[in-house]
């Protein structure tokens, strides 16, 4: 997965990715803990005004693999608009 192919954003456009945790119900398994990611502008006030926040709650039950994705996204300073595509690519590679 080449997230940094076209370079990274400028310092003014810094985005921060964080690990999220939630629970889903799966028939035959019950309540399951899942991990996802949240991405927003490092300037929280600007992010709220601009709506620059994106979250994907259910990526994997494997915390360590989602943490690797978080670190990769932070290294490359990914724009929120690309988060869904990156998560889809990540999931397809993990399976």
User: Residue 86 is encoded by which pair of tokens?
Assistant: 């990156």
User: How much is the pLDDT for 12?
Assistant: 58
User: Residue 39 is encoded by which pair of tokens?
Assistant: 């991405």
Measured distance CA(94)–CA(63) in Å, rounded: 13
User: How much is the pLDDT for 77?
Assistant: 85
The DSSP H or E segment spanning 20 is: strand 15-26
User: How much is the pLDDT for 54?
Assistant: 86
Residue ranges of alpha helices (H) inside 9-94 are 44-50, 63-76, 83-94
What are 6-28's pLDDT values in tens digits? 444 444 578 899 999 999 999 99
DSSP helix/strand/coil, 66? helix
pTM: 0.76
User: How much is the pLDDT for 37?
Assistant: 95
Measured distance CA(28)–CA(61) in Å, rounded: 16
């Amino acid at each position: 997965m080449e997230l940094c192919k076209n370079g990274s954003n400028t310092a003014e456009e810094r985005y921060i990715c964080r690990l999220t945790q939630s629970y889903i119900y799966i028939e035959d398994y019950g309540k399951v803990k899942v991990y996802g990611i949240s991405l927003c502008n490092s300037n929280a006030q600007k992010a709220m005004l601009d709506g620059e926040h994106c979250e994907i709650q259910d990526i994997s039950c494997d915390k360590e693999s989602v943490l690797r994705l978080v670190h990769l996204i932070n290294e490359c300073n990914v724009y929120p608009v690309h988060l869904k595509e990156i998560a889809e690519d990540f999931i397809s590679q993990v399976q």
